[in-house]
Amino acid sequence: MSDTQARVDTRTRIAIASDHAGFEQKQQLAAWLVGQGLDVHDLGPETDERVDYPRFAALVAEEVAGGAADLGVLVCGTGIGMAIAANKTDGIRAANVTSPAFAALAREHNDANVITLSGRFVDVATNKAILAGFLDATFGGGRHADRVALIHALEHQRCGAAASGVVGYRSHLHCHSERSEAKPRNLWSRSDQLQVGGSFDPQSTAGAVEDSSTGSE
């Protein structure tokens, strides 16, 4: 699979980083991305000396959330820690992916903007195929957009923001600069229903869970 190609807009800007465990593959994947004609910003590290992965996850997450990059790629031993760390940044939807099919679904269903990869348990050829699937896919919108809006609403609730009504999908919230002493709304409360693509019924979340479990998100 060394000749894996991605069908992607070459104007796409990619931020990439790793820790020591993912360094070797990060180097190879960055070179492969450049070979696809993409604008790649390698945020380090520059060697395979031991480092702390949350620092590099934050660098990529901030570039994507701030608009300096369109998508992010993170590589560590499993990809799990990178995903957890990156998702602490508002507006980031990082998915830890180990197959090309899941990579495409992460974009199509969840509008993932950061992908995290395993540099120890997944070979580089497979990770190239995973990246190709991630880059080739596009967000499906529709019911998936409503669900992504709910994810943004959770960020909004965590911030304790007093504003009510629709949480705009696409406008991620910088709650570190908008913290309020107001008591956070209960997102799922019947008395304070969130408007997302129409009236939000808390009972409808059960259906969303069922969709996810059956693969028909």
pLDDT band at 153; cut points 50, 70, 90 = confident
Residues 6+ apart with CB under 8 A from 84: none
Q: What whole-number distance in Å separates Cα of residue 127 and Cα of residue 116?
A: 10
Q: Out of 20, 41, 76, 176, pick the active-site residue.
A: 76
pLDDT, residue 158, reads 63
Active site residue 76: yes
Of the chain, the percentage scoring pLDDT greater than 90 comes to: 58
Measured between alpha carbons, how far is 172 from 99 in angstroms, rounded to an integer?
A: 28
Q: Which of 109, 152, 156, 172 is catalytic?
A: 109
**Neighbour count for residue 86 (Cβ, 10 Å):** 31
Going from the N-terminus, what domains does the chain have, and what CATH number goes with each? Answer: 13-136 (3.40.1400.10), 143-214 (no CATH)
Query: Could you tell me the pLDDT band of residue 147, with boundaries at 50, 70 and 90?
Result: confident
Q: Is 175 known to be catalytic? A: no
9-58: per-residue pLDDT in tens? 667 999 999 999 999 999 999 999 999 999 999 999 999 999 999 999 99
Segment 62-116, tens digit of pLDDT? 999 999 999 999 999 999 999 999 999 999 999 999 999 999 999 999 999 999 9
φ and ψ at residue 74, rounded to 5 degrees: -130, 140
pLDDT at residue 160 in the model: 56
User: Is residue 166 over pLDDT 70?
Assistant: no
- Do the Cβ atoms of 75 and 26 come closer than 8 Å? yes
